[in-house]
Amino acid sequence: MKLPSSAAGLTTAVLLAPLLGAPGMPAAHAADAGALPALNMEATVKAAQIDPRRADNTLTPGAKASVLLVERALRDRRLLDAKWVDGYFGTTTVTAYAGYQKSLGLSGLDANGLPGRTSLTSLGAGRFKVTRIVDPGPRVSSGGFVVNTRTRTMLTEAKRLLGRDLKLDQGSYNPGGDPTSAGTHDGGGVVDISVEGMNSATRTAVVRGLRRVGFAAWVRNPQQDDWPWHIHAVAISDTALSGQAQNQVGDYYLGLNGLAGRGPDDGPKVTIRTWEEYRRR
């Protein structure tokens, strides 16, 4: 039987309704209605480095929504008291997150309180999707020292910008290494660079180049501690950073020199960017 044109149109509308969503809702929005919220891993990791070093409860710009997703998930697992669900990734949230990492059977650098890809994905199951991934990659060799692939790629780009080679004095993942390093090299993302043959202007230029590609970097001199002249560089947002290196990154964002005395930053002023932000510039 052939339906009248008006009835046929009504039938078509009814059949298409589930595909188009509720009346007045665009089809694209209807398709996304059940989507999970997105967690920005870059912003979350940045907050986890900076917030614990603040003297107040100022939130890291652009991180609040993602940090809240993490804190609510930790609260629901009884790892974080509800009063700390505030979008501020301070020491209490770092400790709670480290507890979650340990509950997954992770240990060492994988349970350092910095949200890594594996633990964030697990925490977000059924709650949020992880976007803007930060991944340090596997351990590799660079100039005879152990680093990870992210750090090696950052160093390669810094060399290209500077038009010169950079010789490492110390690499990453070096627990119990140089005692003057105070644990900063115990994890990933940290290197010391030789300044042999460099004058003051060249040393400053190298630090500027390292900072441009995403390192918190400083020239270190013998007047500061029991060490020779060198350049110390920490890859911002490397999720395998030791606790000491995390603190140095946080201090860098706050305009400090990364030393125990927390003096003012003595390096060249550049726009602070992570490696991922540098690549998108």
The residue from 87, 113, 131 where one domain ends is 131
Place 33 in a pLDDT band, splitting at 50, 70 and 90: very low
Do 111 and 102 touch, CB atoms closer than 8 A?
A: yes
When divided into structural domains, the chain yields a total of 2
Q: Which two tokens stand for residue 196?
A: 């042999």
The residue from 63, 97, 131 where one domain ends is 131
Report the alpha-carbon distance of residue 80 to residue 95 in Å, rounded. Answer: 9
Q: What is the residue range of 106's domain?
A: 38-131
Residue 6 forms part of a structural domain: no
Report the alpha-carbon distance of residue 101 to residue 103 in Å, rounded. Answer: 5
Place 181 in a pLDDT band, splitting at 50, 70 and 90: confident
The residue from 131, 162, 184 where one domain ends is 131
Specify the DSSP class assigned to residue 108.
G
Residue 232: strand pairing partners: 192, 218
Q: Which residues contact 210 (CB under 8 A, 6 or more apart)?
A: 158, 193, 217, 231, 233
Residue 30 forms part of a structural domain: no
Place 39 in a pLDDT band, splitting at 50, 70 and 90: very high
Look at residue 4 and tell me whether its pLDDT is greater than 80.
no
Q: Which of 169, 185, 194 is nearest to 245 (CA)?
A: 185
Same domain, 63 and 124: yes
At residue 133's C-alpha, the angle toward residues 172 and 268, to 5°, is: 55
Look at residue 5 and tell me whether its pLDDT is greater than 70.
no
Residue 13 forms part of a structural domain: no
Report the alpha-carbon distance of residue 70 to residue 60 in Å, rounded. Answer: 15
Place 149 in a pLDDT band, splitting at 50, 70 and 90: very high
